[in-house]
């Protein structure tokens, strides 16, 4: 759902980032955005690529990356390390829309 909503927001011209924590930090690695959520749902790999091609960014929790011994040098181009403070700075003080999954 996150990539469906993010893709729709990108199509509307909005700036979109997904903050990944826990096991979701693995989305920053090539080949981890795979699978189909349900019968008839679009493949995750396609939604993930559309998200990246549309300018979406993955903000990746550095604590979660460190605890899983993941090397950020192998991140996909749309991913960057960003803890709570950078994520909140990205949100800014103006009205933002936040979804949590």
User: Which pLDDT tens digit goes with each residue over 77-100?
Assistant: 999 999 888 888 888 877 777 767
Q: What is the pLDDT of residues 24-41, one digit of tens each?
A: 999 999 999 888 777 888
User: What pLDDT, in 10s, does the model give residues 55-75?
Assistant: 999 999 999 999 999 999 999
Residue 79 φ then ψ, to 5°? -105, 145
Distance CA 80, CA 51 (A): 15
Tell whether the model's pLDDT for residue 22 goes beyond 90.
yes
Q: How far is CA 46 from the centre of its chain?
A: 14
């Amino acid at each position: 759902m996150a990539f469906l909503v993010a893709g729709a927001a990108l199509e509307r011209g909005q700036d979109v980032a997904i903050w990944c924590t826990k096991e979701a930090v693995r989305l920053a690695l090539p080949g981890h955005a795979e699978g189909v959520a349900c019968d008839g749902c679009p493949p995750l790999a396609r939604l993930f690529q559309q998200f990246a091609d549309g300018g979406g960014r993955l903000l990746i929790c550095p604590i979660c990356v460190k605890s899983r011994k993941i090397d950020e040098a192998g991140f996909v181009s749309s991913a960057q390390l960003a803890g709570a403070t950078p994520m909140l700075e990205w949100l800014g003080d103006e009205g933002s829309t936040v979804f949590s999954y």
